Every structure is written in C-alpha cells, then in structure tokens.
Amino acid sequence: MGIKIVSTGSFLPDRVLTNFDLEKMVETSDEWITARTGIRERRISEGETTSDLATEAAVRALEGRDPQEVDLIVVATATPDAFFPSTACKVQAKIENKRAIAFDISAACTGFIYALYVADSIMRTKEIDKALVIGAERFSKIMNWKDRTTCILFGDGAGAVLLKKEDNEGILGFDLGADGSYGDLLYVPSVGSNEEYPFYVRMKGNEVFKVAVRTMVESAKRVLDKSGILAEEVKLLIPHQANVRIINAVAERLGISEEKIFINLDRYGNTSAASIPIALDEAIKEGRLKKGDLVLLVAFGGGFTWGSCILRI
C-alpha cells in the first residue's frame, strides 16, 4: 500500500501587480526586483478570501469527483480567513462535504510539505482513502505596502493535491524540521503577542537568504539519502518559489541542472504555502512530468521551518 497524488489543481486571482506598478508605490525598480529576486509580477486577490482561493484549487484537483469521497482536508496557510473555524472547515463547507476531518497547519512557506507529511502519516495508519491537501495564501493582506524590502516579494494564490491510497508507492520519503531560535528573522505578529496592530510581514531578508540555501540543500540531501535516490535520478526539482537566486544556489549545490528546475516565481512571486502545489500543478499540466517520474519538493520558511519530499508521479 502507498499514498499517491492522483490529481492536482491551482487557482490564481486575475489581478496582476507588476514590478512597474510597484515602482509607483515604493522606491524600487523593475530592474532591482528582477535582478535580486527573479520576480516580474504577482497576483493579488480582488476580494477572494483565502478559503475562496483554496476552494477553487480544490475543485480543480477533484476533477469532477464527488466531494463526499474526501475523508480528510488539510490546509496549509499563514493567512486564514479566521482564527476559527479553520480554512479547511470553510473549504469543506464550500465543496459541500459533510464528513471529512478538516484542519489547518501553520508552518509558513514550508506549510504544504508539513501538510503533505501529516496527511500521508494519517492515511497510512487510519481508515482514510482520500485526502485533499491544499496550500492557500492571501499575503497581500499582511503586506506593508510602504515597505519595499517585503512588499515586492509576495503574492496570493492556492494549489491543491488529491491523495489516494494505491497499490504502488507515490510518496517515497520526507525530511522535515524546524529551528525556532530563528523566529525573529521572519515573522508576522498576531493577537497573542504584545505587538500593536497592524500585523505585517517582518523580515531580515539577507540573513534569511543565507540560512535558506544551506538548510534547503541539507534537507534535500537527507531525503534523497533516506530514500536511496540519487540527485541525477530526479526528473524535476520543485523548490519553494521565494527567490530565483536561492533556487539556483540550491540546485547547483545538489548537482541538479538548470533544465530540471521548475520556476514560476517570475509570474506569481512568493505565494508562501501555496507555491509548491501551484508549481506542481503547472509542471504536470505543462507536460514537464509524466507517470513514473521522480520529483523532489524542497521548502523553507518562517520558524524557521524546512521540509523536503520525494515522490513518484
């Protein structure tokens, strides 16, 4: 028995915010943003809530299947509609499922890999056949649009996968971890803290950058080692889409060549927990992945948290 991703879906809001638009909002330039990050534009919600984005992605991943078949819904998000009910419960209501276990996971940009790990673990030990795992974010609501060091980076969107128990293994291994001592380098305060509203993303980008590269490389190497897979066997590396310089540095250190890296951050920026499932969906729809191909997912985010997953399509 194994757990397999049987279908994927993603949803991006229509509104495009380009680097040129940002030039009119803060002291920045398209040239700086493109050279330092690789990002050219990002999508911004025009009123869709995080659960709306998540639901659209989930419906696409269901591909017409009966939503009642879903036994478990896990949403990774740092920007939920509400403290409670969870975004997963809201998605459940919107797809009119009446019975699934539903909850959210908070692990910032690593959230999707954490959610995949939790769903995979529950499915292996419990009577659960199908699970929706979703990454969904509306970071535009926690941006300080006057802070050029952060507002140029993030965007809104959602991606989803449908997991199913199958005879053959799909998900082959994980490596996950966290180091909370880095918490102050990248965070968004909330009501439990003594910080004053409004609650925006705060980041020491330069320091995050260095730890991100090292940690993603170490995590990816561990998951390959544990699974007995060589980097050259990987058909596609799907990294968290934060910065093209981070992605290229990680791939180079892993010995993965340029044509095996999936990048879409030029169009969407950093969509946090949504970035990997959106990229996975696009990679499959663009024909960059075929049945049997090995895919390496690697993420890093606030916490710090990190996670890697190796899977067979």
Our answer to whether residue 309 is catalytic in this structure is no
- Measured CA to CA, the distance from residue 12 to residue 64 in angstroms comes to 20
**Nearer Cβ to ligand UT7 (74/298):** 298
**Nearer Cβ to ligand UT7 (212/296):** 212
- Measured CA to CA, the distance from residue 236 to residue 295 in angstroms comes to 5
Q: Counting contacts by CB under 6 A, is residue 242 touching ligand UT7?
A: yes
Among residues 109, 151, 243, 264, the one annotated as catalytic is 109
In the window 87-146, what residues touch ligand UT7 (CB under 6 A)? 109
Q: Which of 134, 86, 81 is nearest to 111 (CA)?
A: 134
C-beta of 31: minimal distance to ligand UT7 in Å? 9
Q: Counting contacts by CB under 6 A, is residue 246 touching ligand UT7?
A: yes
Q: Which amino acid is it at 130?
A: K
Both ends of the chain: CA-CA distance in Å? Answer: 15
Q: Which amino acid is it at 65?
A: R
Find the binder of ligand UT7 among 208, 236, 256, 297 (CB under 6 A).
208
Task: Give the contact letters, 21-50, x = binds to ligand UT7 (CB under 6 A), - = no.
Answer: -------x---xx--xx-------------
Are 115 and 56 in contact by the 8 Å Cβ rule? The answer is: no
C-beta of 256: minimal distance to ligand UT7 in Å? 19
C-beta of 218: minimal distance to ligand UT7 in Å? 15
Our answer to whether residue 109 is catalytic in this structure is yes
3 state DSSP class of 300:
strand
Q: Counting contacts by CB under 6 A, is residue 201 touching ligand UT7?
A: no
Are 165 and 123 in contact by the 8 Å Cβ rule? The answer is: yes
**Nearer Cβ to ligand UT7 (49/271):** 271
C-beta of 64: minimal distance to ligand UT7 in Å? 33
- Measured CA to CA, the distance from residue 277 to residue 2 in angstroms comes to 20
Our answer to whether residue 89 is catalytic in this structure is no
* Token duo for residue 83: 């403290």
Q: Which amino acid is it at 261?
A: I
- CB half-sphere exposure, 267, CA atoms < 13 A: 11
- From residue 244, alpha-carbon distances to 20, 41, 188, 286 in Å are 19, 14, 23, 20
Q: Counting contacts by CB under 6 A, is residue 186 touching ligand UT7?
A: yes
Task: Give the contact letters, 247-286, x = binds to ligand UT7 (CB under 6 A), - = no.
Answer: -----------------------x----------------
Helix (H) or strand (E) holding 77: none
- Measured CA to CA, the distance from residue 73 to residue 92 in angstroms comes to 7
C-beta of 272: minimal distance to ligand UT7 in Å? 6
Known catalytic residues? 109, 240, 270
- Residue ranges in contact with ligand UT7 by CB under 6 A: 28, 32-33, 36-37, 109, 148-149, 152, 186, 205-206, 208-209, 212, 242-243, 246, 270, 300-301
